[in-house]
Amino acid sequence: MPSPLVAILAYDRLCTFEFGCAVELFALERPELDVPWYRHAVCAAEPGPLRAAGGVRIQAPYGLGKLQQADIIVVPGWRSPDERPPEKLLAALRRAHARGARLCSICSGVFVLAHAGLLEGKRAATHWRYASQLAQQFPGITVDASSLYVDEGQIITSAGSAAGLDMLLHLVRRDYGARVANRVAQRLVMSPHREGGQAQFVPRPMPSADNSPIASLMDWIRANPRVDHSARSLAEHARISERTLHRKFKECTGLTHNGWVIRERVAIAKELLETRHELDVESVADLAGFGSAESLRRHFRLHGLTSPLHYRKQFGALPNIASPPTKSARRHQNP
């Protein structure tokens, strides 16, 4: 049996990083793996010349006709979530899907599959920046804003940029097994499987500043995360009724007051793990208001995060920057 043929789409205003991820995985020869590695074909989704991010131009050797021979099709992003892809491209993807080809999208590439009608009734991942827009434009899709990628069998979708590599490695694992996928990951100098979801990369949302009692209350909660913030105590502190407290928090944040407090405590714990290297996890849990390391670990899991220790290792490690040479070393370098 011939090895799988991977068609990698190219289009005008191409997302070069996502395109490069697909090329890196499938276009390089890998004789060290001792398996019949994928064949690849770069296919133009529309007439050229095709421009790409960074000012380069792409000349694809194949057109949409090649998609009908492909076993796997990769959509490496899309130039704008607001722009409907060309109808010829959508029709070609539908035909390929109907005959059993697997389809993979990276980041905003999910909008191409959505416009083709191939994600209706399915779960799908995309970059957290696009999750709300995807859900609004295509209410029939269950948008997963926390996962790095979602495997629906014939269709696999990934979150932003680097999550595309996680997804494509997952595809390699499906086709060739863990041993081959691990060796490819080693060559890419990356983990064969990242823990946690993209929630750990989402910036902390902040409510708009105003002079309302709720805004002042939020500031006070952030400054005092270790206090037991019951609805009654918060209402008394803000000098409003509990009913008003619940309504205002829902209006400002979309969350209950308790959900918002927990989210802020998680954000405080993340910041402590990133910046206070001398604190152990128990101390971080106490300062963030969780009381115990077990409670902190449980809420990290509930928020789609990896463990506190792994989070610190990933985001809190001191940068590996070479020290400047000493005066003596400089004298030897510049006699």
Highest mean pLDDT among 85-89, 144-148, 253-257: 85-89
- Averaged pLDDT score across all residues of the chain: 84
User: Domain limits of the chain?
Assistant: 5-200, 213-315
pLDDT at 329: 38
3-state DSSP assignment of residue 8: strand
In this prediction, residue 277 has a pLDDT band, given cuts at 50, 70 and 90, of confident
**Is pLDDT larger for residue 64 or for residue 178?**
64
**Is pLDDT larger for residue 137 or for residue 214?**
137
In this prediction, residue 285 has a pLDDT band, given cuts at 50, 70 and 90, of very high
Q: Where would I find the beta strands (DSSP E) of the chain? A: 5-10, 39-44, 50-51, 57-58, 72-76, 102-106, 123-125, 142-144, 149-151, 155-158
pLDDT at 316: 67
Backbone angles phi, psi at 179, to 5 degrees: -60, -45
* Cα–Cα dist 180/125, whole Å: 25
Please give the average per-residue pLDDT across 248-271, as a whole number. 83
Helix (H) or strand (E) segment spanning residue 243: helix 242-253
Please give the average per-residue pLDDT across 262-267, as a whole number. 88
CATH class of 213-315: mainly alpha
* Cα–Cα dist 189/186, whole Å: 5
pLDDT digits (tens, 9 = 90+) for 17-69: 999 999 999 998 898 888 999 999 999 999 878 999 888 898 999 999 999 99
328 pLDDT above the threshold of 50: no
Please give the radius of gyration of the chain, using alpha carbons only, rounded to the nearest integer. 24
pLDDT digits (tens, 9 = 90+) for 77-103: 999 999 999 999 999 999 999 999 999
335 pLDDT above the threshold of 50: no
260 pLDDT above the threshold of 70: yes
Q: How many CB atoms lie within 10 A of CB 94?
A: 12
Highest mean pLDDT among 5-9, 228-232, 233-237: 5-9
CA 238 to the chain's CA centroid = 37
pLDDT at 192: 59
241 pLDDT above the threshold of 80: yes
Residues 226-249 as b/e (b if ≥16 CB within 10 A, e otherwise) read: eeebeeeebbebbebeeeebeebb
Which of 144, 138, 139 shows the shortest CA–CA distance to 167?
144
Helix pair angle (178-188, 163-176), 10° resolution: 150
Q: Which range, of 34-38, 84-88, 267-271, 284-288, averages the lowest pLDDT?
A: 267-271
In this prediction, residue 209 has a pLDDT band, given cuts at 50, 70 and 90, of very low
333 pLDDT above the threshold of 90: no
pLDDT digits (tens, 9 = 90+) for 157-171: 998 878 888 899 889
**Is pLDDT larger for residue 244 or for residue 189?**
244
Highest mean pLDDT among 69-73, 252-256, 315-319: 69-73
211 pLDDT above the threshold of 60: no
CATH class of 5-200: alpha beta
